[in-house]
Amino acid sequence: MTSTIPPGADAPPVEAAGRYFNGASARPHQVCLRLDGRFRVTGPGVARDWNPLDLRAADSMPPLMRVGPAHEPERVEFSDDALAAALAARCPDLHRRDEAGGVLRLVLWSVAAGLSVLLVAILGVPHLARLLVPLVPETVEARLGATVEPQVLRLLGSPPACTEASGRAALARLVARLAAAGQADGASPSDLAVSVRRQGTANAFALPGARVILLSGLIERAKAPDEVAAVLAHELGHVSARDPTRSLIRASGTSFLLSLILGDLTGSTMIVAIGQALLSAGYSREAERAADAHAVGLMARAGGNGAALADVLERISSDDDRRGTLDLLRTHPLTAERAAAIRALAGPEAPGRQILSAEDWAALKGICGPSP
């Protein structure tokens, strides 16, 4: 029982005319094709005799048919339905492709690969960012901040800087007091840069390289200087914990991996995603609690009211109608528990203190000049 005899070998032979190409030249040879137990190609100067089991058909549109032995450049072209049908019946491997099949396997593998990249992006990258941040030198972080700040400002709608001289002097005195208080526990960065921008939302941002942006909406809605100072101290808490740099590394890593699986490698989504992540993705709950504690401690040492942080957060959260997408509460969700923790840390006598004199507070209120 040998298996090399193709099925239907005892069927009547089929003949047709065709063109033979030897694979070495493009010259067509008119030939006669005959399929019996073998596939015979005969013509002037051509005599081929192929086993039908070795034949493979290349893609072609019926009635044209194109066959040749597997892995050989020789081809026969013909347009004859009877011969095509006979070949299809007697050559089981006629349409076999070395590569075909395995679509299900491909789908399963790529879904698995995609999920693993997704898991790395969600779980692995934040951990990696935490490990990497201490390795970033201060000079690199300063340059990072310089690169990122214009992008963040563009996403905020390019708000103009507030430069009223007396207001800036009051802000400088406030920053100096907080920095001096921070120096006591040696955690304050050397080149702190705090700027105020005219923007209606009540928020503040810490960027890499000890850059802090206060939006004028926050100063407008504060009822006491300590409220502004406490938010500033909270951002300084993020700065000294290097949260902005960690967030930047995490956002770049995640968006790089996501653009990898989404097939977009031109980097366009990446740049947008990084800025957006810095603005809207808040820090972890632990980072916020640490920044709160840092703020209260700083305010106490500077002779201010740490509990004002809870006051201003509560006031903003009650103004529901003015809440925008970049509101402080979006990035710093306020819970009753968080406010209570801030007040407990500040102690009962804190509300009696005030960090700036009345004149300085009035000057700070006017840092953006008369409102338009």
Partner 1 sequence: MDVETGRRAPHDAAVTFDPRLNGLTWLALKGALLSLVTFGIYRFWYVTDIRRFFWSRTAVDGSPAEYTGTGKELFLGFLVALAILVPVYLGLFALSFAAPALAPFSVVISFVTLFLLGQYAIYRGRRYRAMRTLWRGIRLGQDGSGLAYAARAGAWWLLVFLTFGVAFPFMRASLERYRINHTLVGTSRMTSTARGRSVLGPWLLFYVVALGPLIWLGLALLAAADFSLPTDLLVPRPGGKPGETILNPAYAGSNIGLIANTLLFATAVCIPAALLLIPFYRARETRAFMRAARLGGVRLASSLRARDFYWPYIVYGLSLLGIFLALGFVTGVMVFAAQNAGVSVIHWIVILAYLVGLPLFAVLYVRLVQARLWAAVATSTVVVNPEELAAVLASSRGAGSGLQEGLADALDVGGALQIGL
The residue ranges that bind partner 1 (CB under 8 A) are: 19, 21-28, 58-61, 64, 66, 68, 73-75, 77, 99, 103, 106-107, 110-111, 113-114, 140, 143-144, 146-147, 260-267
CA distance 210 to 152: 15
SS3 52: helix
Query: Which entry of partner 1, Zn ion, none binds 111, CB below 5 to 8 A by partner kind?
Result: partner 1
Six token digits for residue 92: 């089981």
Q: Do the beta carbons of residue 218 and residue 228 sit within 8 Å?
A: yes
CA distance 154 to 118: 29
Minimum distance from residue 153 beta carbon to partner 1 (Å): 15
Minimum distance from residue 96 beta carbon to partner 1 (Å): 14
Sign of torsion over alpha carbons 362, 365, 367, 368: negative
SS3 188: coil
The DSSP code sequence of 201-228 is S--EEEETTTEEEEEHHHHHH-SSHHHH
CA distance 254 to 122: 7
Minimum distance from residue 147 beta carbon to partner 1 (Å): 6
Q: Do the beta carbons of residue 281 and residue 248 sit within 8 Å?
A: no
Query: Which is closer to Zn ion, CB of 234 or CB of 343?
Result: 234
Residues of span 324-343 touching Zn ion by CB under 5 A: 332
Minimum distance from residue 282 beta carbon to Zn ion (Å): 7
Binding mask 247-286 for Zn ion (x = CB under 5 A): ----------------------------------------
Query: Which is closer to Zn ion, CB of 83 or CB of 231?
Result: 231
Query: Which is closer to partner 1, CB of 16 or CB of 300?
Result: 16
Query: Which is closer to partner 1, CB of 348 or CB of 372?
Result: 372
Query: Which is closer to partner 1, CB of 21 or CB of 43?
Result: 21
Query: Which entry of partner 1, Zn ion, none binds 1, CB below 5 to 8 A by partner kind?
Result: none
Minimum distance from residue 62 beta carbon to partner 1 (Å): 10
Minimum distance from residue 23 beta carbon to partner 1 (Å): 4
* Burial 51-87, CB ≥16 within 10 A → b, else e: ebbebbbeeeeeeebbbbbeeeebbbbbebeebbebb
Write out the H or E segment, with its range, that includes residue 78.
strand 75-79
Residues of span 285-314 touching Zn ion by CB under 5 A: 288, 291
Query: Which entry of partner 1, Zn ion, none binds 224, CB below 5 to 8 A by partner kind?
Result: none
Helix 358-365 × helix 165-184 angle, to 10°:
120
Query: Which is closer to Zn ion, CB of 291 or CB of 308?
Result: 291
Q: Do the beta carbons of residue 328 and residue 292 sit within 8 Å?
A: no
Query: Which is closer to partner 1, CB of 7 or CB of 114?
Result: 114
State how far Cα 362 lies from the chain centre: 43
Query: Which entry of partner 1, Zn ion, none binds 112, CB below 5 to 8 A by partner kind?
Result: none
Query: Which entry of partner 1, Zn ion, none binds 244, CB below 5 to 8 A by partner kind?
Result: none
Beta bridge partners of 215: 197
Query: Which is closer to partner 1, CB of 113 or CB of 340?
Result: 113
SS3 360: helix
Q: Which residues bind to Zn ion, rule: CB under 5 A?
A: 288, 291, 332
